[in-house]
Structure 1
């Protein structure tokens, strides 16, 4: 192969002869030019793509780490809430146990009919079956969720509280009735010196009607109310001397006469067994004693019937 090079300025020329090896090297060079150009054209985009892919991977890794942290925080919060719910459930169960124990104790103390108040068992419920939504009754049984269990427990506690409230009202009424129940003697020390009915009058010597009973004792000893009530009289009254009158409701009234000192005044609410006066000999009396009367519907009755009572 022969190559001639011509110089434009001097018009001279120069020739080169190539052998087989030279021809091969020259062909490789000529073929390498387009290959190199293609490589240069494609090498830069590939490198840029690699850079972009690396940034995306880092961004995804960062997002995943953040989500893992959020999941960890959520798990911790869930554990804390579950612990709090468990503690709350234990407190409610303990409260329910105390309510049951208290209710059973009060029921026993009140001597209520067996079965009237039942603590420790679920309240009785019932009613006709209503399928409601079609196919609901055919669904398999689903165990209650944790929150449903807490709700059921709260309902049981509310039921116990309702029973206790009813029991408290019942016991309060019964206690009030017991307090108003006239029973016992109007003194703490002394003896019965005169009974209800006809007797010889100690002043005139004639036969007269005695509408109460007399209890003799030591001057200044306690005079007590035989039942709870409201004081309607607390001052001097003809024949009775210093008198205390108490209205017990249900048509019952009691009177305590001949006292030396009064411990109550009109309008006072007195309890059963409360000291209302001190024994004396005021009014029409021959010595220290208390004249005790019982009225039912404004009519005097024999106090002996109520004195012998032992209470409810």
Structure 2
């Protein structure tokens, strides 16, 4: 019964259409063409709108990809910096080449746009977290490096030999036993005397027994002294870095020959400089 009713309706519709087409002539044909053109124009507008929306969507994805690429470059720069600060092998931790990956392929399929956007969201969050974590790690390593540069380590001269040790020894002038609060490095007059750590000069001038003396405050309770100098090259208040030339070796004060008398003080008390001299090795 339903099929018969449908056929009757279709027949009536077709009859009316044919009668209208015959009776309307060119006027009805023109109206029909105009309606089709209007529908085609509407479809073109819908298609153009869809195309613009797709382009906007692609541009938004491209913008996000560009931002993520910038984050990756930042991560690579941070990673390279950390590699250098930590003394790692560049070949083992290379940020200039893609990481090695592999494995058999078990299933492949085209990724859908929503799935792709979800993956981008997750990757972006991980990148943000890693940037923050690497930034904190870089700050910690930098602070560790600064702390290590402020810790006395190494010899105050590149050339010379240790001529006297820390502790009890016969006084070179009286011959009596006395306390020697530092170690001496003998060498040629005018030899460069080097700061053994970063710090600030708190004394540069003559002092009884020391002759011309340079004293450097390194922070954290550490101070170093360099005595018997022929010439001081730094003034009070000057900032010095490890390895800077701060004086020339001489024999001013109580000295029998050119040498640098080197002292290390921790919280105002003398300590044996030998362990700090050996610390660099």
Off by >4 Å, runs of 4+ in structure 1: none
> Following TM superposition, by how much is the alpha carbon of 1:238 offset from its aligned partner in structure 2, in angstroms?
2.1
Q: Distance in 1 between matches of 2:113 and 2:28?
A: 53
Q: Is the 8 A contact 1:214 1:292 kept in 2?
A: yes
* Aligned equivalent of 1:249: 219
Gaps of 5+ in 1: 1-45, 113-118, 121-141
* Aligned equivalent of 2:140: 170
Number of matched pairs: 238
The 3-state SS of whatever aligns with 2:279 is coil
* Aligned equivalent of 1:22: none
| Greater C-alpha radius of gyration | 1
Gaps of 5+ in 2: 1-22, 89-94, 99-111
> Following TM superposition, by how much is the alpha carbon of 1:259 offset from its aligned partner in structure 2, in angstroms?
1.4
Q: TM-score, normalised by structure 1?
A: 0.64
Q: Does 1:281 align with 2:257?
A: no
Q: Distance in 2 between matches of 1:64 and 1:72?
A: 12
The 3-state SS of whatever aligns with 1:308 is helix
Q: Distance in 2 between matches of 1:300 and 1:143?
A: 71
Q: Distance in 2 between matches of 1:77 and 1:253?
A: 69
> Following TM superposition, by how much is the alpha carbon of 1:272 offset from its aligned partner in structure 2, in angstroms?
2.0
Question: Of 193, 215, 218, which residue of structure 2 is paired with 1:223?
Answer: 193
Which range moves more in the overlay, 216-225 or 68-77? 68-77
> Following TM superposition, by how much is the alpha carbon of 1:236 offset from its aligned partner in structure 2, in angstroms?
2.1
The 3-state SS of whatever aligns with 1:295 is strand
* Aligned equivalent of 1:305: 275
Q: Is the 8 A contact 1:93 1:153 kept in 2?
A: no
> Following TM superposition, by how much is the alpha carbon of 1:175 offset from its aligned partner in structure 2, in angstroms?
0.6
Matching of residues 15-164 of structure 1 within 5 Å: 51=27, 54-55=30-31, 57-58=33-34, 61-62=37-38, 64-65=40-41, 67-69=43-45, 71-72=47-48, 74-75=50-51, 78-79=54-55, 81-82=57-58, 85-86=61-62, 88-89=64-65, 92=68, 95-96=71-72, 99=75, 103=79, 106=82, 110=86, 145-164=115-134
RMSD (Å), alpha carbons: 3.5
Q: Distance in 1 between matches of 2:59 and 2:125?
A: 22
- C-alpha deviations, 1:75-109, integer Å up to 9, x for none? 25624742662575377368548737964983696
> Following TM superposition, by how much is the alpha carbon of 1:149 offset from its aligned partner in structure 2, in angstroms?
2.4
